[in-house]
Structure 1
Amino acid sequence: MSGLKELLKKGLGLGDMAFNAGGGAISWFPGHMAAATRAIRHRLKLSDLVIEVRDARIPLSSANADLQPHLSAKRRVVALNKKDLANPNIMHKWTHYFETCKQDCIPINAHSKSSVNKLLELVEFKLKEVICREPTLLVMVVGVPNVGKSALINSIHQIAKSRFPAQEKMKRAAVGPLPGVTQDIAGFKIAHKPSIYVLDSPGVLVPSISDIETGLKLALAGSVKDSVVGEERIAQYLLAVLNTRGTPLHWKHLNNRRIDGIKYEAEENHEYSLKNLKPKRRNPPNRSDLVYVEDLVMGVQHALYSTVTEFNGNVEDESDLESLIDLQFSALQKAMKIPHKASEARLMVSKKLLTLFRTGKLGPFILDDVPDVKPVS
């Protein structure tokens, strides 16, 4: 991946976005994050256990480094959320890594009741030694923006209401695709005898990110607002990752009939918006919409597969990789049927490509590499 590393050293044009070793104040750390960080640190002292929610696609990059010294001193369960978007062939290596580090870890899907139930069972097991001597226990949920904390809280609410129907009506946590939706800390009772309260908290990032690649991974996963970095720059990074990993070559084996260019008849003037791919939308896609999305995905995969197989350069070379990415933007514009003269064609390509990635339509991924760990003797 030397080509990608060289591009990252250049910053993919991101040097002015403060993804640099110098750090410093940057625009994604608004006042409410600073206040929330102070509040979280204070409430951590009162908490009996912490559920640290991370994005399963970036198990390390989605950790808030500033909070780690405080979190490591507490009973903690690391919940790797969005496991449905993460590569299952690698996920077991991550759980083994956390086990080696003597850290409780569980991959979850916050929208799955059975998955959240398993998390709660682990939490209750971890609290077992405290339950016998404390009448009231506090469990705090923390994490960076857009890792799915609010979705998890809402699922816990549903489970709690089924367990304790007489319990007072609980307010649902606000859920949205943009980072920073939850802006204050709220507590919710989830159990009686002993009383267990879950404290939700807003997603907070560190004031600066010293590592360019970590910043780009957070942006790609949606933990940093697209407007801070720019969709085109994030899409460039995504294409660089796909190319250096040889991912488009694997798509050849997914569906040869479609990849080889034999497509279903496309519907004209389709009004379906990719925004409807977001989870838990009120109006899920119908069959026609699903065919449209499938055609779009296959068109994207075919475009990237073709550009990689026809490319004579070396993706490990920085300039060659940049050239390939430029070719792929043109191929994607054609595949997505974006007007050739559109002044914002690359931006429109980037937005659609990022939506397909973030909703798992391009396949499951884990962007972080599993660290080498010494076996426990």
Structure 2
Amino acid sequence: MAGLKSLLKKGLGLGDMGFNAGGGAINWFPGHMAAATRAIRHRLKLSDLVIEVRDARIPLSSANSDLQPHLSGKRRVVALNKKDLANPNIMHKWVDYFARCKQDCIPINAHSKSSVKKLLELAELKLKEVISREPTLLVMVVGVPNVGKSALINSIHQIAQSRFPVQEKMKRAAVGPLPGVTQDIAGFKIAQKPSIYVLDTPGVLVPSISDIETGLRLALAGSVKDSVVGEERIAQYLLAVLDTRGTPLHWKHLNNRRIDGIEYDAEEKPDYSLKNLKPKTRNLPNKSHLIYVEDLVMEVQRALYSTLTEFDGNVEDENDLEGLIDLQFGALQKAMKIPHKASEARLMVSKKFLTLFRAGKLGPFILDDVPVS
């Protein structure tokens, strides 16, 4: 990974991102986050349990370091959400890591009721000693933007309504693919006896990040708006990660993959947007759309596999790696059939590439490395 580290230091257009609140090139810490952080710290004092939601693809990078001192003394469960997008071959190592740190941790999929039920069982176990003496309990859900807090809240609502159908109808939490959808702290009752309330909170980031790669991982996972960092920068970083890990080389067996017996009319392609792969999209894809996405993914994987196998440089050398990434942008443009004369071709490539990654179409990943302890 030396090439990647050197490239980040060199810049690759990345070093001037200004991940700070004090007048950097980019204002990435909105005012509502500062207010929300203060409110969360105040409410934490009253909470009986904290569910800290993190992105399973970045178990450490998605932790709000400013809140950690306030969380360390609380009953806490770390919920690694989006486990369906994370590499299952590595996930158990992260669970073991948190266990060594004496921290309760559970990988979840916030859209799966069975997964959320397991989280609630763990939460109830943590609250067992308090339930016997407190008539009202408060559970606070915290996390950085876009880790799935509101999706988790909605699943808890559905479970609670099935358990306690006579309770008042509860308002659903706002859910969206963009960070910053939830901007107010709202409370929801999920149980009658004892009365248990869950507080959903806005996603808040720290005012500054000293490690540029942590910032890029947050951006790649969608916790920072693309417009703040720039899609091209994020796509460059993703390509650098894939190349230094040799990931495209593992796609060799996929290059011969075809789905037989199903054809689609090429004229149907333009009416399908990759934006439909984003969370909570109501437009369900039909069979032709599914094949279109499958075919696009295969072409993208083939393009990256070919450029890496034909590459005669060293991915550990920052200059060679930068040259490879430029070649790959060209290969991706061709694979995605983006017109060569398009003035924003590189931006269009970046947007589509990032959408495929975030939807898990390029495979499951965990970007953080398990600390050696």
TM interval, short-chain normalised: over 0.9
Shift of 1:17: 1.6
Deviations 1:328-376 (A, max 9, x none): 0000000000001000000000000000000000000000000012xxx
Partner of 2:226: 226
Which ranges in structure 2 are unaligned for 5 or more consecutive residues? none
Partner of 1:197: 197
Confirm whether residue 341 of structure 1 aligns to residue 341 of structure 2.
yes
Partner of 2:247: 247
Partner of 2:9: 9
3-state secondary structure, aligned to 2:16: helix
Normalised by the length of structure 2, the TM-score is: 0.96
Deviates more, 1:230-239 or 1:23-32: 23-32
Output aligned runs, 1:1-377, within 5 Å: 1-19=1-19, 27-257=27-257, 267-268=266-267, 270=269, 271-373=271-373
Quote the Cα distance in structure 1 between the aligned partners of 2:291 and 2:67.
Answer: 44
Deviations 1:9-68 (A, max 9, x none): 123212322148x97665121111000000000000000000000000000000000000
Q: Which amino acid aligns with 1:95?
A: V
Which ranges in structure 1 are unaligned for 5 or more consecutive residues? none
Quote the Cα distance in structure 1 between the aligned partners of 2:263 and 2:282.
Answer: 28
Deviations 1:167-213 (A, max 9, x none): 10100111111110000000000011110000000000000111000
Quote the Cα distance in structure 2 between the aligned partners of 1:12 and 1:116.
Answer: 40
CA contact (8 A) 1:23 1:210 kept: no
Q: What's the C-alpha RMSD, in Å, of the aligned pairs?
A: 1.7
CA contact (8 A) 1:11 1:19 kept: no
Q: Which amino acid aligns with 2:235?
A: A
Deviations 1:286-326 (A, max 9, x none): 11000000000000000000000111111111000000000
CA contact (8 A) 1:24 1:208 kept: no
Q: Which amino acid aligns with 2:135?
A: P
Deviations 1:81-126 (A, max 9, x none): 0000000000000000000000000000000000000000000000
Deviations 1:106-161 (A, max 9, x none): 00000000000000000000000100000000000000000000000000000010
3-state secondary structure, aligned to 1:172: coil
Quote the Cα distance in structure 2 between the aligned partners of 1:257 and 1:220.
Answer: 27
Shift of 1:283: 1.9
CA contact (8 A) 1:146 1:178 kept: yes
Quote the Cα distance in structure 2 between the aligned partners of 1:311 and 1:265.
Answer: 34
Count of residue correspondences: 369
Normalised by the length of structure 1, the TM-score is: 0.95
CA contact (8 A) 2:268 2:288 kept: no
